[in-house]
Amino acid sequence: MIRYLWSLVCYFFRPWIKWFLRQTTQMCELQRICYGEPSGAPRALAIEDSLRHSRDATIKKLLIYLDDISDKCEITIETEQEVLQEVIKTVLLTKKINPVAHPDFAKSFGKCIELIWGYRQLCVECEELRKIPYDAENPEHEALLMKLWDSLNPDEILTSRVSKQWQHIGFQGDDPKTDFRGMGILGLSNLIYFAQEYSGTVKQVLLHSLHPRYGYPFAIVGINLTSMALRLLRDGSAKTHIYNSSKTLPTIRAFHHFYCCLFYAFDGFWMQSKPNNMMEFSSVQERFESNIRATLASPTTVFRLNVSVDNV
């Protein structure tokens, strides 16, 4: 109730406050954010909030256009500059900003647009990959699975396609094909990226997963972490990390990187929890997720992979 009243107050007074600030600072809200907030998540989140609250017809139309092209995944390296120039031009005109007097605004504002709608597009891309179920009849899928094996075990040859060896890397049985479930190709791609891009870290994590007392099924936990990463992406919690870590348009690589950071952090969390057995996974995972959410709530958060060697 109080929340509702507050939003009502905000709704009525926002234009007045904005008008007052505009008169005193000679700048519109977007400019004040671009100059006042540090780059990355603090700035992009504030710009996003400001644009979403705008009641200007041109801005509203602009947002519909941006939502539409990002939902269709049409923002690519080729089209990006053209889209950004168009958006910046519209905003400069609508907000009556003189580009000569404010040369930095366009650059800083464009960067925010790139992050905000790149993120939205990333959600769509991940969903598309998730919706592709693993299909053992598809040679491309099979090739990906083999790539996962080879990058995780460069020194060990898989004796046959259906083999007990899959359990060494934490699949449930002799054939991983049924283990991807609702995470589909996204789950598999996440694992491959982790194994290929961070071979040192992955070795260390895999070693932990084989720990005689605190071990866990590497691949299955990985697929559950894909689900968690996707949850955080969808509900917007991952924005802070993605906005802070992306130097260019966020693509699927940004999601893979986020996943790798989560996996690395989970591994540490699990080992530190010293669980009695695998049945504690649900509760440990829950605690881990609420920790991560708390960290992501801070606008300066950016996860990194610490490639330090420790001894177990």
Partner 1 sequence: MGLLSILRKLRSNPDKELRLLLLGLDNAGKTTILKSLASEDVTQVTPTQGFNIKSVQSEGFKLNVWDIGGARKIRPYWRNYFENTDVLIYVVDSADIKRLEETGQELSELLLEDKLRAVPLLVYANKQDLGQAVTAAEIAEGLGLHNIKDRDWQIQSCIATEGKGVKEGLEWACKSIKKK
The residues of the shown chain that bind partner 1, judged by CB under 8 A, are 130, 167, 172-173, 178-179, 181-183, 187, 216-217, 220-221, 223-224, 226-227, 277-283, 285
Cβ 140 to partner 1, closest distance in Å?
A: 22
Would you say 27 or 220 has its CB closer to partner 1?
A: 220
Q: How far is it, in rounded angstroms, from Cα 138 to Cα 145?
A: 11
Cβ 200 to partner 1, closest distance in Å?
A: 26
Q: How far is it, in rounded angstroms, from Cα 191 to Cα 226?
A: 9
Q: How far is it, in rounded angstroms, from Cα 36 to Cα 43?
A: 8
SS3 content of the chain, % helix, strand, coil (to 5): 70, 0, 30
Would you say 217 or 299 has its CB closer to partner 1?
A: 217
Q: How far is it, in rounded angstroms, from Cα 168 to Cα 96?
A: 63
Cβ 193 to partner 1, closest distance in Å?
A: 18
Phi-psi region for residue 126, left (φ > 0), alpha (ψ -120 to 50) or beta?
A: alpha
Contact predicate 190/222, CB 8 Å: yes
Nearest in space to 281 (alpha carbons), one of 234, 229, 237, 215 = 215
Cβ 135 to partner 1, closest distance in Å?
A: 14
Q: ∠ CA 19-44-226 to the nearest 5 degrees? A: 145
Would you say 217 or 250 has its CB closer to partner 1?
A: 217
Would you say 170 or 299 has its CB closer to partner 1?
A: 170
Would you say 92 or 228 has its CB closer to partner 1?
A: 228
Cβ 188 to partner 1, closest distance in Å?
A: 13
